Structure 1
């Protein structure tokens, strides 16, 4: 199996930015986990490797990574497979993420800049992008419906040999 080496996480919390009076953006955030991979790795191997990695065992509801965990986002870990990911264009990924970020109104410049630097740079530099499709409520774990929005993408950048797991959600 292809091995992935964690480079580091990046976290953008909407609460760290000042919004105009009366504007509400809820408890939303973007979590990026980047991994180095060896040149020549096939996409199916990379998707399987990220799913098998302990950093993938994260319910994204404040508890963080659980190395022995059985949850990923809203789903039971056993429900997530490489087949659950569908190729998506940069245009579609960018539009989905921008629409999600702006769904409650315009963003402060500081947050727009943070998203451009941390999120959209990764999306733009990816040679290939995959989106986790909606696996359905039958795959939800015991508290899996807690997220209002949950968007997950995997960005593969062959030039930099970097795979990034991107999650944009709320809690």
Structure 2
């Protein structure tokens, strides 16, 4: 399912991990072009990619470009500077905190979370967390998603970027 989202990144697909009836984590994999030499450059390309512009409002939202929305935020409110570097432990903790809401996941979901999400985050050398741009950066339908978490992992050696988004809808 490789495709070009107009940024130079190659979109290689996604995985949807349902935590329960309302909470989810979605991973999207991208291949970095050889010209990318810094995580900041990788983030810049990600922000320009059509596959980034996903409002996560429906199970098939990854199939189209929302143009102006990303999660609960307006795309024009997100810049490379909106991301802060975080440790693997901090990135994993943010995702685990989402999973632990409302009493935590079932044992089966906890195993899937560990195998399919937290291992991907732990294995990456570079982690970036999107900071909330505040009320001015939210779009009119932002109330649909709560507890939005976004982590981007960048591996320049392996030429891989993984976008990890979690929320409660």
TM-score of the alignment, normalized to the shorter chain, above 0.5: yes
* Paired residues for 1:2-151 under 5 Å: 3-15=8-20, 26-39=21-34, 41-62=37-58, 64-65=61-62, 66-67=64-65, 69-151=67-149
- Deviation (angstroms), 1:106: 3.6
TM-score of the superposed pair, with normalisation by structure 2: 0.88
**For 2:91 and 2:53, how far apart are their aligned partners in 1?**
23
Measured against aligned partners, the alpha-carbon deviations of 1:38-68 in whole angstroms (never above 9, x if no partner) come to 3452111100111111101111111603325
- Is there any run of 5+ residues in structure 1 with no aligned partner, and where? 16-25
Measured against aligned partners, the alpha-carbon deviations of 1:92-137 in whole angstroms (never above 9, x if no partner) come to 1111211221122242221112111211111101111000001001
- Deviation (angstroms), 1:31: 0.6
- The structure-2 alpha-carbon separation of the partners of 1:2 and 1:74, relative to structure 1 and needing over 3 Å to count, comes to closer
Contact conserved, 1:74 with 1:143, CA < 8 A, in 2? Answer: yes
SS in 1 for 2:105: coil
The equivalent of 2:3 in structure 1 is: none
| Structure index of larger Rg | 1
Superposed CA RMSD: 1.8
TM-score of the superposed pair, with normalisation by structure 1: 0.87
Measured against aligned partners, the alpha-carbon deviations of 1:1-60 in whole angstroms (never above 9, x if no partner) come to 972111110100124xxxxxxxxxx50100110101134521111001111111011111
**Equivalenced residues, count:** 161
**For 1:68 and 1:149, how far apart are their aligned partners in 2?**
20
SS in 1 for 2:144: coil
